[in-house]
Structure 1
Amino acid sequence: MAKRPADEAEETQSEPAEEGDNGLVSYTAVLLSQGSHRFYTLAMPSQMLAETCVVDPRDENPLSGFQRVLDRRRAQDIAEYIDKGLGTIPGSIVLSAQPEAELEYVRKARTIRFKKTPRSFLIIDGQHRVFGFKMAKETLRVPVVIYNKLTRAEEARLFMDINTKQRPVPPELILDIKRLAETENDIEALLTDVFDAFNTDGNSPLFALLSPSEKSAGKISRVTFNQALKPIWSTFSDSDAQSVYVVLSAYLHACLAGLRGHGAADRITNPTLIKALMLTFPNVAQRVADRFEGEYTIANFEKVLAPLFRNTKKADFQKPGASHKALHETFRKALSSGFSLGKAVL
């Protein structure tokens, strides 16, 4: 696609001006003040960041380092994201100019000037993005914030402030908006449909007990729901979302009936309990299929679940603990203790 004149002018204006052979480069920048700090905002090519920034992981420099250890897989994901040319990374990289940079602000020209060295800047925030830039084949312009003449203590405090004051987007919200962003895979799409059915159907055993986009006390989040269903997803083979919902709804109605008998119906939203019940589902469903020729009704699930609720202590339902796998093993044993071959046919 041909560039517009305005685009060409913008790119030309923002290119660094090399000043002789002394390694100095300059960029147009804006000087801002916030509280007791002054910093510069500007745009830099991602390759320049890759060539001039350094990070000091604590495991390599335990006395003076404070940054996180680099996750190379995360940086590689960023590089691939850039090279596909489909996305944007608008967040600012936050840097602290090091003595090697010899950074200065030319007020009249409204530019910063610094010496280009491999250790010109310490990365305060954005190390994975910078290393992703270094791995990427493509170059893009990146918003940057540069602090100058910070002490090591001030750099560490700034790192702490950025990483404790900023609230990350909850994973529940990310899952909730994946459909809007059109980034769901097939399993995620089915899980979303099943969750939404449980959340919106007035006859659902989990109606008003789910929280789609955030964690909420006394409710099952979308993340917990997905974690509970993924280990048993192969049980449903090629079933569509509605079929999965109908069968699981009958199963959970039967589970709730059993929990009521122990005064623990309200514990259905406990993450450990709901995950353990879901892990138990394939075993229960197999017995329903064998005994009732695949009629997955509430009544049939209740009959198969009867020994589980009869042989499990009330405390296991009311205080499920932290391990859903351990609780599932308790359920498995309780369910098996009620099984008998019946009269043999010779």
Structure 2
Amino acid sequence: MSTHSFNALVCTQNKQEFYIAVLPTEVLEKVCYVSSRDQDPKEGFQRSLNESRAKDIANYMNNRDGIIPSALILSAQDAVQFSYNKKANTITFKENEHGFMVLDGQHRLYGLFKSGKNYHIPVVIFNNLNTMDEVNLFIDINTTQKGVPTNLLLDIKNLSGRETKKEDKQRKIFDLLNEDSVMTGLLSPSKSMVGKITRVTFNQATNDIFESGFFKDKDIETIYKGLKNYLAALEVTLIKSKSNKAKITNGLIFKASLAIFHDITDTSLEKFGDLKVKSLTACLEPISRINYDTYKGTSNATYSAILNDMKDELRKENSSQYGEIDKSNLF
């Protein structure tokens, strides 16, 4: 049984000691394990490994020159005979495949393993913890530490130079609509707020607009004008429904309404040859018949029910043609 020794620092917080070191993944791969609830229903307490997430991390490290500076949190088990030398500031442990339980960072760790390369990563090691201590520490880590909200990450992504072309268009159109449209003041760029549409919801709702239909590959100004008029028509339509829940800021209704965007714009172009608010309102009129107060909850099933009812009311034709369009009078 091999023995390993590494430089380390000891740290004490509220009478609890732990050790901070930098270990290579080629050693960690031989000594770390996870106590999965699925594999050990009696004493396991962690979620199962998400292989897809681990592969994404490996790809990030190998193909994007990634870095993972955050420390893993480990609990030394009796089998490794963990010890700390105060004079030399070193930790020593025996090699054992069940030597260190991973309390936090399993996907980071297994992603590094999948990369096939040897990386040196920071680790925080606790020693002499019993099962209750380990579970409590696991709960504390996963309830007191919050990740950065997705809305904020989207809002600042342009500063990183990592926005996709679609995300760039969505961000700019979102900001334009927040400045001048029926959505002014009803859009929240960086955080979730009651009564407002977040950037995440907006991106999900508008995702298909850039993939197909009349607006595919159109410039930002054209898409903005189209969405501005569409949302103005949608607001009129929802008010006409007289349902208390029929609000443009209802996330599920907003996403469902954007899911029929192509159907409505195609119909408007075919019948009226334009995308003016009046024309779009006429095309959306059928969904004003829906009683939106009957929908309960915020699940995907509720979203699907709203969308299906909208499509049923529209009774859209099988196909649409754009025909000759006078672009100078389009909006």
TM range (shorter): 0.7 to 0.9
Taking every aligned residue pair, what percent have the same amino acid on both sides? 35
Aligned length: 312
Q: 2:29 aligns with which of 50, 61, 74?
A: 50
Counterpart check, 1:68 vs 2:47: yes
| 1:62-110 deviation per Cα after TM superposition (whole angstroms, max 9, x unaligned) | 1111121011111122222222362211111000001111011111111
Query: 3-state DSSP class of the match of 2:44?
Result: coil
Counterpart check, 1:297 vs 2:254: no
The question of whether the paired residues in 1 share the 8 Å contact of 2:79 and 2:98 is answered with yes
Counterpart check, 1:218 vs 2:198: no
The question of whether the paired residues in 2 share the 8 Å contact of 1:29 and 1:112 is answered with yes
The 5 Å alignment of 1:1-346 reads 23-84=2-63, 86-199=65-178, 201=179, 203-233=180-210, 234-235=212-213, 236-261=215-240, 262=242, 267-293=247-273, 295-309=274-288, 311-313=289-291, 315=293, 322=299, 323-336=302-315
User: How large is the RMSD of aligned CA atoms in angstroms?
Assistant: 2.2
The alpha-carbon deviation at position 54 of structure 1 amounts to 1.0
Note closer, same or farther for the CA distance 1:46–1:303 as it changes in structure 2 (3 Å cut): same
Bigger Rg, which one: 1
Equivalent-residue separation in structure 1 for 2:18 and 2:251 (angstroms): 45
Query: 3-state DSSP class of the match of 2:60?
Result: helix
Structure 1: 4+ residue segments shifted above 3 A: 263-266, 313-317, 319-322
Point out where structure 1 has 5 or more consecutive residues left out of the alignment. Answer: 1-21, 338-346
Note closer, same or farther for the CA distance 1:105–1:259 as it changes in structure 2 (3 Å cut): same
Aligned to 1:17: none
The question of whether the paired residues in 2 share the 8 Å contact of 1:272 and 1:320 is answered with no
TM-score of the superposition, structure 1-length normalised?
0.84
Note closer, same or farther for the CA distance 1:66–1:331 as it changes in structure 2 (3 Å cut): same
Supply the AA of the counterpart residue of 1:226.
Answer: N
The alpha-carbon deviation at position 291 of structure 1 amounts to 1.6
Query: 3-state DSSP class of the match of 1:88?
Result: coil
The question of whether the paired residues in 1 share the 8 Å contact of 2:246 and 2:292 is answered with no
| 1:130-160 deviation per Cα after TM superposition (whole angstroms, max 9, x unaligned) | 2122222322221110000100111111111
Note closer, same or farther for the CA distance 1:51–1:133 as it changes in structure 2 (3 Å cut): farther
TM-score of the superposition, structure 2-length normalised?
0.87
Equivalent-residue separation in structure 2 for 1:127 and 1:170 (angstroms): 21
Equivalent-residue separation in structure 2 for 1:58 and 1:149 (angstroms): 22
The question of whether the paired residues in 1 share the 8 Å contact of 2:74 and 2:103 is answered with yes
Equivalent-residue separation in structure 1 for 2:265 and 2:59 (angstroms): 43
Query: 3-state DSSP class of the match of 2:70?
Result: coil
